[in-house]
Structure formats: structure tokens, C-alpha cells
């Protein structure tokens, strides 16, 4: 009986630990004091919850293509900004864009999107960079 109770406590602890690590603050992953701009071609756009993602191919310093994976806000937030299949700020694979991001602290080609400059030169603010975005 004690083994079963102990086993249940350990299992509950592992589940709770995993769920707490699943949601993180932006400051734990991205450098919110540094903003950079990446320009390139969108290769994939996914407006999903809890966070969307955009994949963009950027020419590296040596000319080789580098794929950046950029996190966005939630699908509902993006829809409110006019993104989606029929919004005024439609995005699709093949679009040339400039995206201002908070880069990953690790230096990997990852970032959290601050704003997007669309092909028509319109800039759309996505995030302020606060831990509530």
C-alpha cells in the first residue's frame, strides 16, 4: 500500500514538473534587450495555439541559406491583427519579408517575432517583448 501511494506521489510530481517546464517566459529563451532584423523568404507559416511559427530562409554571412524558426503569438491574437487565410495581412510560403525579432539567447537561428514588414512595406507589430506576450 505504501509503495502504491509513493508511486502515485512520484508520478504526480513528474507530471507537474513537465507541465511547468512546458510553459516558459520569453526572457528565459529570448534576449528581450536585443532586437535584430532578418530578411528572407517564408518557407512555412503555422498560425496555431498556443504559439504560431514562421520558418524563414535567410542568407548566412557566407552566402549559404540558414533556416530561422520564429515564434509568434497565438492564432487568435494574429487573427485580430489581420493575419490568416483571408485577412488584410495574409502571409504565405514564398513571400519575401523582413522580420524584427528578439533572438534566442543560445545563439541558434530562433527568435520571437516583434514585428513583420510585409512585401507592401507595411509594418505590423506582433509583440512588445513583455513576458505577457
Give me the CATH number covering residue 64: 2.40.50.140
On whether residue 1 sits in a domain, the answer given is no
Query: How high is the pLDDT of residue 37?
Result: 95
Q: DSSP assignment of 79-128, as one string?
A: HHTT-SSSSTT---TT-EEEEEEEEBTT-SSEEEEEEEE-TTS-EEE---
Task: Tell me what the pLDDT averaged over the chain comes to.
Answer: 79
pLDDT at 133 over 60: no
Number of domains into which the chain is organized: 1
**pLDDT tens, residue by residue, 64-84:** 999 999 998 888 888 888 887
Are the beta carbons of 125 and 75 closer than 8 angstroms? no
Average pLDDT over residues 80-102: 85
On whether residue 36 sits in a domain, the answer given is yes
DSSP code, position 26: G
**pLDDT tens, residue by residue, 27-51:** 788 998 999 999 999 999 888 888 8
On whether residue 74 sits in a domain, the answer given is yes
Residue 89 structural domain: 26-125
**pLDDT tens, residue by residue, 9-32:** 444 444 444 334 445 577 788 998
Amino acid at each position: 500500500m505504501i509503495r502504491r501511494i509513493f508511486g502515485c506521489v512520484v508520478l504526480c510530481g513528474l507530471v507537474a514538473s513537465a507541465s511547468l517546464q512546458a510553459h516558459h517566459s520569453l526572457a528565459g529563451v529570448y534576449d528581450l534587450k536585443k532586437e535584430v532584423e532578418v530578411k528572407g523568404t517564408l518557407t512555412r507559416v503555422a498560425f496555431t495555439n498556443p504559439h504560431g511559427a514562421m520558418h524563414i530562409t535567410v542568407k548566412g554571412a557566407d552566402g549559404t541559406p540558414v533556416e530561422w524558426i520564429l515564434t509568434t503569438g497565438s492564432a487568435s491574437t494574429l487573427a485580430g491583427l489581420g493575419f490568416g487565410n483571408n485577412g488584410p495581412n495574409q502571409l504565405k510560403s514564398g513571400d519575401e519579408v523582413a522580420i524584427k525579432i528578439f533572438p534566442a539567447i543560445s545563439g541558434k537561428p530562433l527568435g520571437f517575432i516583434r514585428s513583420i514588414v510585409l512585401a507592401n512595406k507595411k509594418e505590423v507589430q506582433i509583440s512588445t517583448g513583455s513576458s505577457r506576450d
